[in-house]
Amino acid sequence: MQEGRHGGAVPRSITLKDKDSSADHQRCRWEDINTATGRYLTLDINTGSGSGDAAAVADAGTQFSADEKNLENPRFHSSAETVSGLGDKALAARTTDYVDMKVVHGHPVQHPKRYYIAGAEVVVMVRNVVIDIEWSGADYPSSVRGSSALRGTNFTYARTKAEAVTLAQEVIQQLPA
């Protein structure tokens, strides 16, 4: 991550993989997975819907609660904690996951690989908006690059949490008052 024009974190040297949006949802995913490094960043922004401000905030609260339950899933998360001073309420948890590379640029890969990565997921609620950021990765030593399952040096939780919080602060600054 590097400093953006507003001082917040932005992905560096990783490619936008996909994005989608609708009236109440925006999602962007960046990914750079190869035999030397694995980088994975997802940014989801959901706007609560409903007639009136109170209904929209309640809808966002329902979404935040669903994301909170997801952070309690021991298969992919551990050590969920409150992040004070960020939005109306915020949580962070350590993530451990993997990315399977079976198709690259629309073509099946002859020898699929599984890349193990770790990092942080941060979920923030600000009024009627829920921001969900997952930032994880690893560096793979040359000794594992020929394997079908790559395990390397995962990003630390402290580093990825701090960078995800910085990105969340940048997103919050861009929200209308």
Please report the pLDDT score of residue 31 as a whole number.
74
- Kindly write down the DSSP assignment for every residue of 63-110, as one continuous string: HHHHHHHHHT-TTTEEEEEE-TTSSSEEEEEEEEEEEEEEEETTEEEE
Rounded CA separation 77/118 (Å): 10
Local structure of residue 11 (DSSP, 8 states): -
Please report the pLDDT score of residue 14 as a whole number.
57
Please report the pLDDT score of residue 147 as a whole number.
86
What number of CA atoms fall less than 13 Å from residue 55's CA on the CB side?
Answer: 4
| Residue 20: both structure tokens together | 């989608």
Confirm whether pTM is higher than 0.85: no
In contact, 29 and 19? CB cutoff 8 Å: yes
Q: Which of 44, 150, 120, 130 is nearest to 87 (CA)?
A: 130
Question: Would you write out the chain's pLDDT as a tens digit for each of its 177 residues?
Answer: 333 332 333 345 556 677 777 776 677 777 777 778 888 888 888 888 777 789 889 999 999 999 999 999 998 999 999 999 999 999 999 999 888 877 666 667 777 888 899 999 999 999 999 999 999 999 989 898 888 888 999 999 999 999 999 999 999 998 887
Please report the pLDDT score of residue 15 as a whole number.
62
Please report the pLDDT score of residue 7 as a whole number.
32
Please report the pLDDT score of residue 94 as a whole number.
97
